[in-house]
Structure 1
């Protein structure tokens, strides 16, 4: 894989740390800003909204600009938003900084996905995506638990400052390693914007985006409210929250790595095997949450299955949107973050029910069930390759 891919993954690591870190900080933020945990959970939704709106908008604006300058600008805006968030005492201001940071993250990821796909042969998009997403999975292994531990020891504001600082070496890496010219799909410079937009109406692309949104919604529904399950239902101390996050992140890294080698040629196998296992896993996690050993084991398994299935669906989006090189990345980004916005909202509605802290885990299972009900009858359409033939 080209070296610039790993530099892009470094920046994705910084941004992924921010996107996922709230899972371990919500109680502290809620207490400090005098809001409920459910209200604090809407910060995850705010981030997702910024990603949804920002992905197509920023990708379109960056269409004619060199990839390096666009990526660098997005990283610096992301860092500045976290600096503002670290000093505010207003929840609405913090909410707004999450939207701004997410818009910058969306622009970066949209351009980075397109850049990554253009840096490798056309049949290696899955592997390139696995390298890029390794930044996110390493963030869940190292960055998010470290942020949670830092928040526990020094307060949630210290974690925001740490993310702002982490963006600076990522910016240096992007500037030094990413080509200054705009990466083009072909010698002619790629299709016109109108032609790209027309390509985005393909039914197989819309199906892949819907499934990606549902699976990611399930991931964020359970992951966002994992902290109360660890400290409440399982009866573990606060410092066990980073441990649970490490296990989820380690599983996600394993899932992306394995799926990266299968999603180009055997996406149907990943969906057919990983989907049902993911469906069973969320209710099992809810039922066994009061048993710490089972809880921690299933957290690892669900991380692996969620990211294996999710990254495979992202790869399908990139294949189906291959005729829209500028907007392909924004499609994947928007789909994932529709799920990231909806998942915590669905999960939050269950907190006031008899399910209590376990409600989000049941909500995750429901979202996966909906995805499978849609996916299994249409498996051939999901796994159709660029040539139109189903991949086995």
Structure 2
């Protein structure tokens, strides 16, 4: 893998840390800026909304710029808004920085996904995607607990400074190692332009893949968001164990994207079917066995690996499917992930508010994966029912897709 890919992964690590770190900083922010805890919680919602809206919009805006120029613009913006966030004494300004930071994050990830797969062979998109998403999983392992520790010792502002500082070497590395290249939306690659790409995004296979990605990611973040009450109220762990278990989930996530990057390119459909079935079984087992501390620890690791292994493979398949939208596919894949990251916690919160118990987020995760399996199975059966040629073109291996691209 090219060095530039790992530099993009470093930037994604900083951005992932920024996205997740507020889960441990909310009370300090509320106290420092004299707002309620629920008001401070809107910082997380603002970031999520910015990611969903920003991914396709920023991808469209960035498509007429060379990848390096677009990546630098998004990353420098992201860095600067964290400096402003670290300095401000106004909650309104901090909220605005979260929205702008999310837009920059979404734009960066959208362009980075397309740039990354353009740096490797046509049949290695899965490995390239796993390097980028490895930055997100490392944020779960080190970035989020690290941000919480910084907040405890030096205040919440230190976490914002840390994100900005980690972004600096990524900026320098992108300047040195990412090829300047042609604009992503140049006529020779964009075909009929942005409108043509948007039309191609309505292709059934791509729409199904994005829906599956949203459902699986919704299941992941439903439990991840409410893992603390699950392990403390059901498994019997003390609060001091929560950061370690969150980090363990991140370790599993890193394992998952690494394995997916190695194997999902060759046989994506069997990998997804087996992985999703195992993921569903794991959520059900977790819901049933959460009262056993040993089982809980094992399943936190396993479910982290399965969730991100299946999720990263779905992102890769979305990129393979979007042959007619080479510059906007990353934006819509990013948006789908963040739709899931928004609906999952909402579903878990509704279940908890309804008095269904602290295990209920695990059952919501199970339900979302079961729905994904059902949708995927129906789509696969329908495509196979239309004949071998259609099935192969819609649910084919990367080698078939790359051959189709070359013929086009």
Is the shorter-chain TM-score for this pair beyond 0.5, marking a shared fold? yes
Give the alignment of 1:1-392 within 5 angstroms: 1-26=1-26, 28-29=28-29, 34-36=35-37, 42-88=42-88, 93-182=93-182, 188-191=188-191, 192-379=193-380, 387-388=393-394, 390-391=396-397
Q: Contact between 2:213 and 2:315, CA under 8 Å: does it hold in 1?
A: yes
Computing the radius of gyration from Cα coordinates, the structure with the larger value is: 2
Taking the aligned partners of 1:238 and 1:308, their CA distance within structure 2 comes to 28
Query: For each residue in 1:125-184, what CA deviation from the matched residue of structure 2 results, as whole angstroms up to 9, or x when unmatched?
Result: 111111221111222222222223333444433322221222122211212211123365
Q: Contact between 1:149 and 1:239, CA under 8 Å: does it hold in 2?
A: no
Question: Structure 1 stretches of 5 or more lacking a match?
Answer: none
Task: Name the TM-score, length of structure 2 as normaliser.
Answer: 0.87
Q: Contact between 2:380 and 2:395, CA under 8 Å: does it hold in 1?
A: no
* Cα displacement (A) at 1:218: 1.1
2:179 aligned counterpart, secondary structure: coil
* Cα displacement (A) at 1:339: 0.9
* Cα displacement (A) at 1:203: 0.7
Q: 1:23 to 1:376 in 2, by over 3 A?
A: farther
* Cα displacement (A) at 1:87: 4.6
Q: Contact between 2:64 and 2:183, CA under 8 Å: does it hold in 1?
A: no
Query: For each residue in 1:209-230, what CA deviation from the matched residue of structure 2 results, as whole angstroms up to 9, or x when unmatched?
Result: 1110111111111112223334
* Cα displacement (A) at 1:380: 5.5
Query: For each residue in 1:20-72, what CA deviation from the matched residue of structure 2 results, as whole angstroms up to 9, or x when unmatched?
Result: 223444555566655356x6555433222111111111111111112112111
Taking the aligned partners of 1:31 and 1:376, their CA distance within structure 2 comes to 49
Q: Contact between 1:221 and 1:344, CA under 8 Å: does it hold in 2?
A: yes
1:239 aligned counterpart, secondary structure: helix
Q: Contact between 1:68 and 1:181, CA under 8 Å: does it hold in 2?
A: yes
* Cα displacement (A) at 1:317: 0.5
Q: How many residues align?
A: 391
Q: Contact between 2:51 and 2:103, CA under 8 Å: does it hold in 1?
A: yes
Task: Name the TM-score, length of structure 1 as normaliser.
Answer: 0.90
Q: Contact between 1:45 and 1:340, CA under 8 Å: does it hold in 2?
A: no
Q: Contact between 1:45 and 1:344, CA under 8 Å: does it hold in 2?
A: no
Taking the aligned partners of 2:27 and 2:212, their CA distance within structure 1 comes to 31
User: More displaced, 156-165 or 167-176?
Assistant: 156-165
Taking the aligned partners of 1:240 and 1:249, their CA distance within structure 2 comes to 14
Taking the aligned partners of 1:225 and 1:96, their CA distance within structure 2 comes to 26
* Cα displacement (A) at 1:231: 4.1
* Cα displacement (A) at 1:113: 0.6
